[in-house]
Structure 1
Amino acid sequence: MSITPYAVPAETVRHELEIKKSRFITYLAHTPGEADAKQFIQSLRNAYPDARHHCWAFVAGRPESSVQWGCGDDGEPAGTAGKPMLAQLSGAKVGEICAVVVRYFGGIKLGTGGLVKAYGTSVQQALSLLTTREVAVTVPYTISCEYAHIDTIEALLKQYHGIQLDAAFSHNVQLAVRIDARFIEGFLDALKNQTRGQAQACSTEHQ
């Protein structure tokens, strides 16, 4: 697992381009997973039901995680829309992003080369308008501790860029947390030292 933070869209972008009377309306949005991307694509089909094509591409996870890439031509000649759109997204090194280009046909055919250029340029120009924010890679942990250790653990979470998600209280405390992957080793060492080994942390990433 890569522990390096990566960029994701900070907000949705809309860009419009006209080529030989065809309108290419491009949207870029933050979609944290493949299901989110597909939902976003469908939302634009619903928003522009009279458009000829709703072509799309997404990078659903980390920018370099190609197993979470996808694209579709939606009726355009194979390879003329989705692939050039995805090429622009993957080259931008932005993760968790979906691009949809809504095309209103203007009556003049662009040819396969013209389509590749039109869809690629549409996404390229939209990306030039995109603002991003950084996402840290985090790992989920459950911490079992005594009540007396709660303040110590909260301070350590703050120090090592962790967040508390949930807490369950019984004879002891069970804390569900996420820790920045870059700082896990330091956090676990500090947790052991400052609680004298009484607090136990267990990764729940693959449970």
Structure 2
Amino acid sequence: MHQLAEPAFAEIEIKKSRFLGQLFPLHSRAEAREQLLKIRAAHPNAVHVCWALVCAGESGLDDDGEPSGTAAKPMYNVLVHKDVTNVLAVVVRYWGGIKLGAGGLTRAYGQAISEAFKIATLVAVESMSEIEIEVGFADESQVRRTLDKYAGEVNHVSYTETAQMQASIKQKDVTAVIAELTDVLKGQVNIRTGDELKLS
């Protein structure tokens, strides 16, 4: 699975219609809405602004007036084929006066996004793991320092007789983080990983 390092753009012309293929890295439907508002404002004379969104739990498609299935679906198929996530694909169409037919539209919209991918920079998505760390209050700062070292993130902390910290870290760093915390805290720490959390 990959995601975009930065936006990418390409333009194709078919029978005098211009298709502007655009790819944007983002992480929510709300971000996608904002981006689409900007694009529509930048292209007031475009006849269609079609889009396909793939991000965690928030995918979506819109043909924006083109015949159903001829615009967003072929764009979405390119995203799936490229194995990308957290991406908004947009094609802005300027009408050229010649009808392309359903097959022509399907090819044009898919091709516009494929062309944008040719210049896009993709980066691998790192798998994250959830861990729960229980320590004495005095050791919380040491846990935070260790997590920072591995670019981990503290999602939640609750306090009872101890500090219970829920954190996200890269899957590949889980073993190293557990070993380091056990060492620096001389065993005075309880750590549960994703699989154990699911069982509890």
Alignment TM-score, normalising by the size of structure 2: 0.79
Percent of aligned positions with the same letter in both sequences? 34
**Secondary structure in structure 1 of the residue aligned to 2:85:** coil
**What is the distance in 1 between the residues matched to 2:86 and 2:155?**
22
Asked whether the equivalents of residues 30 and 97 of structure 1 are also in contact (C-alpha less than 8 Å), the reply is: yes
1:76 aligns with 2:66: yes
Partner of 2:107: 117
**What is the distance in 2 between the residues matched to 1:186 and 1:129?**
36
Unaligned runs of 5+ in 2: none
**What is the distance in 2 between the residues matched to 1:74 and 1:152?**
53
By how many angstroms is 1:47 displaced?
2.0
By how many angstroms is 1:48 displaced?
1.4
Q: 2:96 aligns with which of 97, 100, 106?
A: 106
1:151-207 alpha-carbon deviations (Å, 9 max, x no partner): 7535643665535679999x977766431123324423542344234234567999x
Amino acid at match of 1:29: F
Query: Which structure 2 residues correspond to residues 190-201 of structure 1 after superposition, within 5 A?
Result: 190-201=180-191
Partner of 1:60: 55
**What is the distance in 2 between the residues matched to 1:192 and 1:99?**
45
- Root mean square deviation of aligned Cα: 3.2
Amino acid at match of 2:70: T
Amino acid at match of 2:182: K
Partner of 1:24: 19
**What is the distance in 1 between the residues matched to 2:45 and 2:134?**
56
Asked whether the equivalents of residues 21 and 115 of structure 2 are also in contact (C-alpha less than 8 Å), the reply is: no
Alignment TM-score, normalising by the size of structure 1: 0.76
Partner of 1:64: none
Unaligned runs of 5+ in 1: 1-5, 62-66
Count of residues in correspondence between the two structures: 196
**What is the distance in 1 between the residues matched to 2:157 and 2:41?**
41
**Secondary structure in structure 2 of the residue aligned to 1:25:** strand
Q: 1:96 aligns with which of 63, 67, 86?
A: 86
Comparing 25-34 with 187-196, which one deviates more in the overlay? Answer: 187-196
Comparing 138-147 with 68-77, which one deviates more in the overlay? Answer: 138-147
**Secondary structure in structure 2 of the residue aligned to 1:28:** strand
Query: Which structure 2 residues correspond to residues 161-180 of structure 1 after superposition, within 5 A?
Result: 162-163=152-153, 177-180=167-170
Amino acid at match of 1:136: E
By how many angstroms is 1:15 displaced?
1.3
By how many angstroms is 1:93 displaced?
1.3
**What is the distance in 1 between the residues matched to 2:169 and 2:156?**
13
1:14 aligns with 2:9: yes
**What is the distance in 1 between the residues matched to 2:58 and 2:157?**
32
